[in-house]
Amino acid sequence: MLTPEEFASLLLIGAPSTYGSPAVIPPEHSARLIALGFIADIQGRLRMTTPGRIRLAAGMPIPLTQVGFEGGKFHHLQFGFLE
């Protein structure tokens, strides 16, 4: 599973700059995304792979929440507390 920060880095790689400058992401993110096969380093530039595009299309998972019913209304419960 990607952290929100790693997913943001994947988004940066997937959205090429209109100015032609390459996206700059933390080296630990690029190493992990390359290891997962989501991006590739081609001639010094980070490029999105097909699995990376599929991962982007899947989006970020919604944080674990529960739905509670109280007083005739549904409430989202996060970490056991009503929001």
Output the pLDDT for position 64: 42
Output the pLDDT for position 62: 52
Task: Name the nearest CA neighbour of 13 among 35, 38, 36.
Answer: 38
CATH number where 28 lies: 1.10.10
Q: Which residues of the chain have pLDDT under 50?
A: 64-70, 72, 74, 76-83
| 8 Å CB contact between 4 and 60 | yes
pTM, 2 dp: 0.69
Domain assignment of residue 70, given as a range? 4-82
Question: Number of folded domains in the chain?
Answer: 1
| 8 Å CB contact between 14 and 7 | no
